[in-house]
Amino acid sequence: MARRKAFVHIGLNGTGTAFLDGALATHAESLRESGLALAAGSAEEMFLAAVEITRDHRAWDLHRADVEGAWARICRRGVKARSDFLVTQDLLAGATKDQAALLLDGLAGLEAHLIVTVRDPASTLLGEWEEATKAGQSVSFRRFQERVMDPARAHDDAASFWLAQELSEVLDRWAARLNPQRVHIVVVPRDGDIRGAIWTALGIITGFDAEALALPGVDAAPAGLGRRELSVLRSVNKSIDGRISGQLRRTVLKRFFAERVLTSGPDRSTTRGLTRAGLVPPDLYDDLLVLSERWNKKILDAGYDVHGNLDNLLPAVPDKRALLPDDVPAKDQLQTTTDALADVLVEVARLREHNERLEVRNAKLEKKRKKLKRKLKLAATDPGP
């Protein structure tokens, strides 16, 4: 009897897989009927498991007790499912070799499969700078690329970037104990329907009918920011100067301001997709081409199971006429700032109105509470007939 399979999707981060949690949850019942269970009870539980494995709880303002045992609970649920199961969490790409081994040890007795989504390094570099800006940094792309592309990897930005984005090293840490045919590389196309390509490949790998489980209706990943929006966000980050931190920063700065306010402007359709290779400075092209060719050779030499065209890992020749990520005319930045400020004020007005309604409601409830308290007191002191 064939062993049950455990599929572990580890990223890479920024490869366009943010939609997977919603898509998988939407089709959970159909997936179960096709023989594929979702071992994690929620995306949040899998996030906690990844933080536990990577021992990165402090960076996420969590206590060790918040994450302790999360991966073991998911493994137990996967075993009880009595079918193949899938887990996905992009943070796992940054796990060390020992941490990867610890996670795989939890799958003992099962046929473990690794799924790695990868895209061209030009897009990844731009995407990581965008994410760093959403997280509160104000550094320019030029400065960010200098830090990351420094061969010494001396800066923290370089260390964290390459830990989770150097495909050759990620595969060395994760795939050493696995049969190459159980290591599945999903190459994300540079253009076209990225979500559809990833969903189709995932279906082929894990055994569900991707065409029957359509993606329409599932929330897509947040819209990407363009040059204007990122320029404004960098300026805002500099002005905030650390006055918002931790979980509140993720909620207010990233989720609200970056991913709601700045992506709702009238020119969103023209600015979305900063990760287009044409926006990468031409002087980076040769270095990124060498890196891509090394990744291709690594994949081919190892004999991994490949889904997609490996040519998509090669950076496109940049358009020398295109504006670079840091090139934002002052009038464009001013217009985006004005639009964003207007949206923030509308939201503040909505929240104030909501708060006033709650205050009125609370005042009425407090009045009723006091009235009820007086009645209860009278009833307690009234001896009756």
Reported as a single tens digit per residue, the pLDDT across 187-210 is 999 888 899 999 999 999 999 999
- Residues facing residue 37 across a β-bridge: 85
Strands 5-9 and 111-118: parallel
When the pLDDT of each residue in the chain is averaged and rounded to a whole number, the result is: 87
pLDDT level of residue 272 (50, 70, 90 thresholds): very low
Tell me: pLDDT of 102 over 50.
yes
Edge to edge, the sheet with strand 84-88 lists 36-38, 84-88, 5-9, 111-118, 183-187, 305-307
Give Cβ neighbours of residue 311 (< 8 Å, ≥ 6 apart): none
DSSP letter assigned to residue 15: S
DSSP letter assigned to residue 325: T
> What token pair was written down for 49?
């498991």
> pLDDT tens-digit profile of 13-66?
888 898 999 999 999 999 999 999 999 999 999 999 999 999 998 888 888 999
Confidence at residue 218, expressed as pLDDT on a 0 to 100 scale = 45
Confidence at residue 62, expressed as pLDDT on a 0 to 100 scale = 87
Out of 180-189, 296-305, 371-380, which region has the weakest mean confidence (pLDDT)?
371-380
Helix pair 121-134, 285-302: axis angle to 10 deg: 110
DSSP letter assigned to residue 188: P
- Cα–Cα distance measured from residue 135 to residue 141, given in angstroms and rounded to the nearest whole number: 14
Tell me: pLDDT of 265 over 60.
no
Tell me: pLDDT of 278 over 80.
no
pTM (2 d.p.): 0.81
> What token pair was written down for 162?
């390459």
345 or 271, which is more confident: 345
CATH for 5-120+155-221+279-318, options being 3.30.60, 2.30.30, 3.40.50, 2.50.20: 3.40.50
DSSP letter assigned to residue 57: G
Report the amino acid identity of residue 196. Answer: G
- Give me Rg for the CA atoms of the chain: 25
Tell me: pLDDT of 134 over 70.
yes
- Cα–Cα distance measured from residue 24 to residue 21, given in angstroms and rounded to the nearest whole number: 5
Strands (E), the chain: 5-9, 36-38, 84-88, 111-118, 183-187, 305-307
Confidence at residue 81, expressed as pLDDT on a 0 to 100 scale = 87
**pLDDT average, residue stretch 120-149:** 89
**pLDDT average, residue stretch 297-322:** 92
Tokens 């363009």 sit on residue: 226
- Residues facing residue 268 across a β-bridge: none
> pLDDT tens-digit profile of 219-243?
444 457 888 888 888 888 888 887 8
Strands 84-88 and 183-187: unpaired
- Cα–Cα distance measured from residue 253 to residue 304, given in angstroms and rounded to the nearest whole number: 40
Confidence at residue 244, expressed as pLDDT on a 0 to 100 scale = 79
